[in-house]
Amino acid sequence: MNDSQSGEDLAAVAAEYATSVSLDDLPEPVRDRLPIVLLDTLGVCIRGSETDYIRRVADGMATMGRGPLSENESTEPGATVFATGDRRDVSQAALLNAAAGTTLELDEGNQRSAHPGIHTIPPALAVAQHIDATGDELLEAVLVGYEVGARLGDCIRPMKAGLHPHGGWAPVSAAVAVGRLLSFDADTMADAIRNAVNPFVVGHWQAAYDGATVRNFYTGLSCQHGIVAATLAQSGVTGVHGAIETCLLPYTAADAVTDELLSPFETFGEAYYLTSSYVKVHAACRYTHAPIEALADIVADRDIRPNDVDRIVVRTFELGTTLDRTDPDTVLGAKFSIPFALATRLYTGRSGADAFTPELVADETVRSLASRVELIADEAFDERADDGHWGASVTVELNDGTTYTATKEDARGGGDSPFTREEILEKFDSVVSTRLSKDATRDLRERILSVRSSKSINSMLEPLL
């Protein structure tokens, strides 16, 4: 870390960037990526809002006095909750929309720092609706929330055993995005960051393995905390000076907080985490994606049925082998099970949201096939995983002794194998079309992609409202 950075805490360094950068400062690939990440994240939030317990939580909040806001003749306060279609206070809208986007396991991610998009865009959109920001104002908020939060996520990873990357570092993304929309100066922004860092919202991985759906609210609670952190700073509440440096150690697996660990904060304006993000089309943990795609290669031109299979052997990196449960009993648990993900893919030919349903979780053919999937840690994949490449090799052994093997060095969606723009647009249309008509879906998609020309975020969202 250089001398100028060591003389002030990293919150101040991040705040200076977050309050000064503009879209005009960005390389063209970064500017082009922003509407794509916005589109993809909004799409999964809209589809995920159909999840039954999201609506039940919204209804429960209404009974506690956090229901729809009363409308004013000249202004519409708050922000839209996608599950109910009404407007609520911004922190509730961010909480529910982010949780909705998490339920599908289709939200954008970053192999260097988990899932910045789902922690940045719902709170940014909620505040942008509330103040009726312009498209450029929203994109600048998304930019700085993503870039600051992703760096903190990179510093923390790998996290201490058992800690889940949702929540954790991510309230910083929400606080920064909100602060930018509310025109914070650098000092106020720094305190918003400090307040978001301490206290942290931390969840445990066990919820995902067990299929406990509280895990899907880690993101929403994190977004809500970030909004509160920004509100505290705006109201003059100060945070711990040096909070990032002081408060990292309980969360990172590193033995000490060193300059090297914090080095991502040296690269503002030079490197952009946005350009290393990935898009998901398989509705399950990213660790399942390379195995799914390897299996897809094997069955692409072969008629292999579940009863033909003696066993399936998956070689992958060590963390991937933790997704080894063969008998998940919930949809969420199934999304964190490589055996289930492969079984439902072979049985249905699908791996999107409709491949992970209560009916398929209970299906005896799928469960039987999942029980015949074996995971093995492989050092070769571990070495590549250290560089962010989560690959796998899959071998299908048939009852007649025939074997087929395919290898994926990394799943599609990012890195060396990104999806095309057209494929990402097709994903959006697919997930949103269960909620909107074909024409409304196309209209919303084009409005989001043209966000830079929007003078009103509420206008941009009209096809949905």
Question: Residue 257: its pLDDT value, please?
Answer: 86
Give the DSSP per-residue string, 152-218. Answer: HHHHHPSBPTTEEEEEETTHHHHHHHHHHHTT--HHHHHHHHHHHHSS-EEEETHHHHHT-GGGGGH
Q: Which residues of the chain have pLDDT under 70?
A: 1-8, 70-75
Question: Residue 70: its pLDDT value, please?
Answer: 67
Cα-flanking dihedrals φ and ψ of residue 52, to 5°? -60, -40
Question: Residue 375: its pLDDT value, please?
Answer: 98
Question: Residue 8: its pLDDT value, please?
Answer: 66
Question: Residue 69: its pLDDT value, please?
Answer: 80
**Beta-carbon count within 10 A of 247 CB:** 17
Sorted by sequence, the CB contacts under 8 Å of residue 110 that are 6+ apart come out as 116, 117, 150, 153, 273, 276, 277, 278, 414
**Beta-carbon count within 10 A of 22 CB:** 9
pLDDT digits (tens, 9 = 90+) for 378-388: 999 999 998 88
Q: How far apart are CA 378 and CA 394, in angstroms?
A: 12
Q: How far apart are CA 336 and CA 86, in angstroms?
A: 32
Rounded to two decimals, the pTM is 0.95
Question: Residue 74: its pLDDT value, please?
Answer: 40
Question: Do 7-281+431-460 and 286-408 show the same overall fold?
Answer: no
Question: Residue 159: its pLDDT value, please?
Answer: 86
**Domain covering 286-408: architecture:** 2-Layer Sandwich (3.30)
Question: Residue 71: its pLDDT value, please?
Answer: 60
Amino acid identity of 160? K
Give the residue among 188, 34, 224 at the shortest CA–CA distance from 180.
Answer: 188
Sorted by sequence, the CB contacts under 8 Å of residue 304 that are 6+ apart come out as 298, 346, 396, 398, 404
**Beta-carbon count within 10 A of 304 CB:** 15
**The pair of three-digit structure tokens given for residue 146, joined into one six-digit string:** 């993503």
Question: Residue 112: its pLDDT value, please?
Answer: 87
Question: Which superfamily does CATH assign the domain made up of 7-281+431-460 to?
Answer: 2-methylcitrate dehydratase PrpD (1.10.4100.10)
Question: Residue 4: its pLDDT value, please?
Answer: 37
Domain ranges for the chain, please list them: 7-281+431-460, 286-408
